[in-house]
């Protein structure tokens, strides 16, 4: 018989940024299904965040919501304070909140660039710093960053976003190096998972036609990858692609 050594998620406190909607919601519910208590962060989606918390409670978890505007990275540590006040110190952090602005190297302004980097790169960095500082002695922690498989084959029209996500990839490796052995830091790189906000299913289905696995991912395979990275205690600095093989074409 093979004994698998893994980090037990049951009874832990997890923080999920952007946990009220779409990918973040699924990750929050995945954590709740695995027995963790969840702090569901939101910015504008107060009602969907409350709905997510109710769904997590139905799964048996303690679940609370809290709003932080992560366009200001100096507030990222508030996530950890709010979670700690309501649920106790977190030992899991999933950085999923992000913008998805449309710009190119030709038209991006310095202001746009800074806004994208503050939300999509600086806030995950400073949330992770606060998480590491607050982690209780003798507790192992794990961070999963949500990145984009297109950091290796950049979009033509989401320039500042994909450069910031490239920063998330490097941040994942640098933080894994610096925060070990107590904290593991990994990432999941998403491909065609859901149509972007405002686009219908046909948009994603059209993109998926090009993929080796010829389908839209949906959020379940993302949740499976996040849980696996959280549980596997000999993996750090890894970036797992969940993209239907999209990186091959
Ligand atoms: N969907 C895909 O197929 C796909 C593909 C590649 C990568 N990804 C990555 O996967 C993650 C989730 O994607 P998604 O499509 O589910 O995201 P989404 O629908 O675009 O939602 C963005 C999330 O970020 C939060 N957010 C936006 N601005 C914020 C701010 N100023 N402060 C705090 N939070 C803010 C939103 O919170 P509120 O709604 O509460 O405002 C929301 O939860 C992102 O990191 C994205 O880059 C997704």
Taken in order of first residue, the domains within the chain and their CATH numbers are 13-241 (3.40.50.720)
Question: What confidence tens digit (pLDDT) does each residue in 179-218 have?
Answer: 999 999 999 999 999 998 889 999 999 999 999 999 999 9
- Record the pTM: 0.98
Across the range 157-167, mean pLDDT stands at 98
pLDDT at 6: 82
What lies within 8 Å, CB to CB, of 7 at 6+ separation is: 140, 142, 230, 231, 232, 233
pLDDT digit string (tens) for 21-60?
Answer: 999 999 999 999 999 999 999 999 999 999 999 999 999 9
What CA–CA distance (Å, rounded) separates 80 from 226? 20
Say how many Å lie between the CA of residue 192 and the centre of ligand 1.
Answer: 14
Q: What is the pLDDT, as a whole number, of residue 197?
A: 86
How many residues can be counted in the chain? 249
Atom of ligand 1 nearest to the CA of 45: 40
Q: How far, in Å, from the CA of 5 to the mean position of ligand 1?
A: 32
Please give the distance, rounded to the nearest whole angstrom, from the Cα atom of residue 211 to the centre of ligand 1: 23
Pocket test for ligand 1, best of 28, 66, 98, 165 (most atoms within 8 A of CB): 98
Query: For position 3, what pLDDT does the model report?
Result: 67
Q: Which residues line ligand 1 (CB under 6 A)?
A: 18, 20-24, 42-45, 69-71, 96-100, 119, 146, 148, 190, 192-194, 197
């Amino acid at each position: 018989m093979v004994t698998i050594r893994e980090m037990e998620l049951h009874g832990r406190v997890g923080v999920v940024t952007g946990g009220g909607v779409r990918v973040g919601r699924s990750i929050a519910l995945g954590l709740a299904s695995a027995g963790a208590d969840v702090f569901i962060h939101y910015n504008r989606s107060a009602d969907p965040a409350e709905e997510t918390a109710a769904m997590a409670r139905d799964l048996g978890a303690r679940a609370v919501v809290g709003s932080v505007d992560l366009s200001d990275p100096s507030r990222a540590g508030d996530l950890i304070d709010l979670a700690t006040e309501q649920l106790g110190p977190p030992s899991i952090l999933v950085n999923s909140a992000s913008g998805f602005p449309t710009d190119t190297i030709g038209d991006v302004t310095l202001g746009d660039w800074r806004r994208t980097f503050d939300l999509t790169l600086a806030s995950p960095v400073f949330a992770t710093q606060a998480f590491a500082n607050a982690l209780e002695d003798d507790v192992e922690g794990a961070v999963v960053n949500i990145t984009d498989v297109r950091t290796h084959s950049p979009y033509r029209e989401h320039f500042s976003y994909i450069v910031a996500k490239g920063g998330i990839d490097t941040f994942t490796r640098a933080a894994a190096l610096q925060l070990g052995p107590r904290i593991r830091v990994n990432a999941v790189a998403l491909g065609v998972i859901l149509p972007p906000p405002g686009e219908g299913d046909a948009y994603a289905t059209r993109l998926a036609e090009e993929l080796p696995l010829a389908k839209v991912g949906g959020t379940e395979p993302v949740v499976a990858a996040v849980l696996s990275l959280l549980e596997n205690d000999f993996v750090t600095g890894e970036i797992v692609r969940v993209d239907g093989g999209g990186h091959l074409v």
